[in-house]
Structure 1
Amino acid sequence: MKKRTIGIMGAMPEEIEGVVALLSNCVEASMGKRTYFSGQINGIDTVVVFSRWGKVAAATTATTLIHEFKISELMFTGVAGAISDNLKIGDIVLGKRLIQHDMDARPLMKQYEIPLLSQTYFESDSTLLDSAANAINTVFENNSLYAVIGEDELMEFNISQPRLVIGDVASGDQFFSSKEQKHALNTQLPNILCVEMEGAAVAQVCYEYEVPFTIIRTISDTADDKSHIDFPSFIKKISSKYATEIIKNIY
Structure 2
Amino acid sequence: MTTAILSALPEEQNTLVARLAHPQRMTHAGRAFWRGELEGRAVVLALSGMGKVAAATTSTALIERFGAARIVFTGVAGGVGDGVNVGDVVVAEDYLQHDMDASPLFPRWEVPGYARSRLRCDAALSAILLEAARDCVSSAERRFDLQSVIPGPPAGRAPVSAHHGLVVSGDRFVCAADEAHRLRSALVDAGHAVLAVEMEGAAVAQVCYDYGIPFAAVRTISDRADDAAHVDFPRFVQAVASRYAEQMVLAMMQKL
TM normalised by structure 2 equals: 0.90
Correspondence 1:81 to 2:78: yes
Unaligned ranges ≥5, structure 2: none
Please list, as runs of the form range in 1=range in 2, the aligned pairs for 1:4-153 lying within 5 A after superposition.
Answer: 4-141=1-138, 143=139, 146-147=142-143, 149-150=144-145, 152-153=147-148
CA distance in 1, matches of 2:80, 2:28: 35
Cα distance, 1:119 vs. partner? 2.2
CA RMSD of aligned residues (A): 1.8
Q: Given the superposition, is the C-alpha separation of residues 132 and 48 from structure 1 closer, same or farther in structure 2, using an over 3 Å criterion?
A: same
Partner of 1:249: 251
| Equivalent residue number for residue 233 of structure 1 | 235
Distance, in Å, in 1 between the alignment partners of 2:9 and 2:152 is 20
* Residue 131 of structure 1: how far off its partner (Å): 0.5
Instruction: Identify the range of structure 1 (156-165 vs 108-117) with the bigger mean alpha-carbon deviation.
Output: 156-165
Task: Summarize the alignment of residues 170-181 of structure 1 with structure 2, pairs less than 5 Å apart.
Answer: 170-181=168-179
For residue 16 of structure 1, report the CA deviation from its aligned partner: 1.4
Quote the Cα distance in structure 2 between the aligned partners of 1:200 and 1:49. Answer: 17
CA distance in 1, matches of 2:100, 2:55: 16
Paired AA for residue 202 in structure 2: A
Change (3 A) 1:226 1:235: farther
Question: Is the CA contact (8 Å cut-off) linking 2:76 and 2:219 kept in structure 1?
Answer: yes
> Identity rate of aligned residues, in percent?
37
Specify the SS of the correspondent of 2:130.
Answer: helix
CA gap of 1:86–1:155, structure 2 versus 1, over 3 A, is closer
Check whether the contact 1:100–1:170 (CA below 8 A) recurs between aligned residues.
Answer: yes
User: C-alpha separation between the residues in 2 aligned to 1:209 and 1:221?
Assistant: 33
Aligned length: 246
Alpha-carbon separation, structure 1, partners of 2:62 and 2:152 = 34
Name the counterpart of 1:168. 166
